[in-house]
Amino acid sequence: MTPHNASDILEGFCRMAPVIPVLVIEDAARARPLAEALRDGGLTVLEVTLRTPVALEAIRRIADVPGVIVGAGTLLAAEDVREAVAVGARFGVSPGATPALLDACETAGLPLLPGAATASEVMALRARGYRVLKFFPAGSSGGAAALRALAGPFPDMRFCPTGGIGPSNAAEYLALDTVLCVGGSWVAPPAMVAAGDWADITGLARQAARLR
């Protein structure tokens, strides 16, 4: 898969809803009902971070939930890419980018949303052909103001900012022409997931889906 094709696919996914939930799943048995609850609230593209022992199993269980597109987040190395593809991830997300990780995604045919936080990082990914990036960590990298400034030299780039975004500041990011959607964990609070409060999670998702 070329970087250009990967960015086209990611642009489509990012336009499906204003928020991509960033999920840290501790119990694989909760993966499917969590995905269904978020989908029922209108958030249909989900990122499961590879940060827990059950993350790959969680992706496997979500992969066949009707109406949901699941991706693997926190991709750091080529091995993560192979494992994510094997369990049915439709896209990948990484906090930054290395040539080895980009090579692995392009070879495996996994569309990647690679992370960047500085002008030089944006330039490196743009030179390779990526046009849709994760801006991470958004809040501590200067927030919406920094992203607005990056739009000056890079009007052709599009972003999904993630990190430190919640209901109180998501709109600032979503107001930017260069922002396709935002990523965030606030729609799946760990306590609600642990308690199986699916109706409340659907409510949070519904509010998030209306942010734009």
Work out whether 165 is an interface residue with ligand 3PG (CB under 6 A).
yes
| DSSP H helices in the chain | 3-14, 31-40, 55-62, 78-86, 99-108, 119-128, 143-150, 170-174, 190-195, 198-209
Shortest distance in whole angstroms from residue 176 CB to ligand 3PG: 17
Segment 123 to 142, residues that bind ligand 3PG, using CB under 6 A: 136
Segment 22 to 81, residues that bind ligand 3PG, using CB under 6 A: 22
Shortest distance in whole angstroms from residue 166 CB to ligand 3PG: 7
Q: Is 79 a catalytic residue?
A: no
- From residue 177 to residue 196, the character string flagging contacts with ligand 3PG as x (rule: CB under 6 A) and all else as - is ------xxxx----------
Q: Determine the residue type at 101.
A: L
Tokens 């593209």 sit at which residue?
Answer: 45
Shortest distance in whole angstroms from residue 39 CB to ligand 3PG: 19
What is the three-class DSSP state of 92?
A: strand
Cβ nearer to ligand 3PG, comparing 47 with 106: 47
CB atoms within 10 A of CB 170: 23
Work out whether 14 is an interface residue with ligand 3PG (CB under 6 A).
no
Shortest distance in whole angstroms from residue 185 CB to ligand 3PG: 3
Work out whether 162 is an interface residue with ligand 3PG (CB under 6 A).
yes
Work out whether 201 is an interface residue with ligand 3PG (CB under 6 A).
no
Full strand arrangement of the beta sheet holding 69-73: 112-113, 91-93, 69-73, 45-49, 19-23, 182-184
As a whole number of Å, the CA-based R_g of the chain is 16
Tokens 């992370």 sit at which residue?
Answer: 115
Cβ nearer to ligand 3PG, comparing 12 with 139: 139
Quote the CA–CA distance of 89 and 198 in Å, as a whole number.
Answer: 23
Residues classed as catalytic = 47, 134
